[in-house]
Amino acid sequence: MSLSDLSAELSIVNSSKVSLLPNLLRFLAHIGFLNQHEDHYFLTPASHLLVKNEPFNVRSVLLMNHGPVISKAWSELSAWFQNDSPTAFHTAHGKAFWDYIVDEEPRVLSDIFNDALAGDSRFNTNMLITECKHVFEGVTSLVDVGGGTGTVSIAIAKAFPNIKCTVLDLPHVIGDCKGSENLDFVGGDMFDQIPDANAILLKTVLHNWGDEDCVKILKKCKESIPSREKGGKVIIIDTVMEEDPKQSNDQFIRAQHNMNMLMMVLYAAKERTKKEWEKLFTEANFTEYKIIPALGVRSLIEIYP
C-alpha cells in the first residue's frame, strides 16, 4: 500500500498526524517488520503472523502479552521481589492470573487468552504432526491435558483417525466445545483425575507451575497410563532451556529467555533446563525420557513409566 492509502485505511484525518506516519513506517521497515519499495510498503513474513485472517496468525499472543493487564504485572516485578505476594501479577492486580481471567472481563480476556493458546498451537501443530509423527505410532488413545478448546487434539484426531483423543480442561474452558467420532471434551481438573489412555499430552502446561505442582501433575499422568511394555507414555511439548552463554545471541535462545521471564511474572514459574526436567521426572517416578529439539523454541519430550 502507498502512504496515502495507508492513511485512508487507518482513518487518520488530522493532517499533522499524517505527516508523522512516515516516521512510524520507516521504523517498522528498519526493524524488518515491513518492506519498502519506492513509496509502497509490504508485509514481511513476521508481520504476516499478526494479520487477523492468516491461518497461522499469533496476534492474540501479542495482544495478551503486551496488553495493559500483563504489562502492569511487569512493572511490579521489582516490588514483588521485596514483598510476600505469590506472583508479580498478584502484586499488580490483587489476584492470581487464572482468577483474573475468570473474574475480570471474563468474555473479552478469556477470548483473547484462549485464542492466544490456539494461535500458539496452530503454529506448532503442523510441525508436530509432520516432523514428529513417529511419536504417535502405536498410540490408540490420548488425553490432551489442559488442551483448551482442542486445537492440537482436533488436528491429531484428523491426522490419526485410529487414535481416540480426549481433551481435558476446566469446565469453563471446555464450554460448549463439540467432539467428533474420535474426539471428546471432558471438563475436569488435572490435579484430581486424568482419564485413562495409552498416552498423555502436556503441551506448554508444566511451565505454568512450580516444581512441586509439576510433580503432582506428572504423578497423576502416571496413574492414568499403562506400563511402558503396554505402550504407556507421557508426551510433553515445552521448552528445554539452553544454558550455554555462547548461544545467547541466537533468536531461539532469546525467545526462550523471554518466555522464562513471562512465566516468572505471571505464575512464579519457569522454563527448565535438561537437568531440571530430569529432576522432575525422577521425583515423579518415571524411569526414562528422551528429548527431541524439533519444534522451534520448544522440544518434544517423551517420558516412560
Which sequence positions are flagged as catalytic?
A: 207
Nearest to 296 by CA among 243, 254, 234: 254
Q: Which amino acid is at 146?
A: G
The one-character DSSP state at 176 is: T
Instruction: Report the distance separating Cα 122 and Cα 255, nearest Å.
Output: 18
Q: Are the CB atoms for 116 and 149 separated by under 8 Å?
A: no
At 129, list the grid cell: 504432526
Q: Which amino acid is at 206?
A: L
- Over the range 256-267, which residues count as b (16 or more CB within 10 Å of their CB) and which as e? beebbebbbbbb
Compute the radius of gyration of the chain from its Cα atoms: 21
Nearest to 97 by CA among 74, 120, 81: 74
E strand segments, 160-217? 164-169, 183-187, 199-203
Q: Is 196 exposed, middle or buried (0-12, 13-18, 19+ CB in 10 A)?
A: middle
E strand segments, 173-276? 183-187, 199-203, 233-238
